[in-house]
Amino acid sequence: MKILVVDDEIVSRKKMMRIVSNFGSCEGVQNGKAALSVLQTSLENWKPYDLITLDVSMPDIDGTEILTTIRALEEERGLDENERAKILMVTSHSDTETVKACLGKCNGYVIKPFNKEMMVDKMKKIGLLH
């Protein structure tokens, strides 16, 4: 499994990377621009990510905007539903407006603080683990 962790908070990013790296090769970036850059490269090389954990609130580009851009890039590439990344939005608040903005585009939510059991459960729910 190829995994991308996007979070501007170093502690959260490292913790998420430590948890999900048990399930595949994991890369972490600290902002939206970096996320879109590595994502673009992966799509150009036809090596899309299987899982992306995406922080909702980041200083440069917010997670909901990145989510929309990712889905547009995948569509441009002609990826079908099975080839697209599973995206879990990560947030420290259960902001209902943010949740509504992402519905239909993301595969689920993770509320901080998260742990390994929570991530395993989420990954099972979205079909990445059995």
**Has residue 83 been placed in a domain?**
yes
- Is 120 within a domain? yes
d(CA 21, CA 70): 22
- Model pTM? 0.94
- How many structural domains comprise the chain? 1
Quote the domain boundaries for residue 59.
2-125
Which CATH number covers residue 42?
3.40.50.2300
Triad 51, 121, 50: Cα angle to 5°: 10
pLDDT tens digits along 78-107: 999 899 999 999 987 766 677 677 778 999
Distance, in Å, from the CA atom of 87 to the CA atom of 45, rounded to the nearest integer, reads: 20
Give the CA angle between residues 12, 25, 2 to the nearest 5°: 95
**Residue 130 counted as domain residue:** no
* pLDDT < 50 positions in the chain: none
Residue 103 lies in a domain: yes
Q: What pLDDT score does 130 carry?
A: 86
Q: Cα–Cα distance between 51 and 28 in angstroms, integer?
A: 12
Question: CA nearest 121: which of 81, 88, 93, 82?
Answer: 88
What was the pLDDT predicted at 101?
A: 74
Residues 41/11, Cβ–Cβ less than 8 Å: no
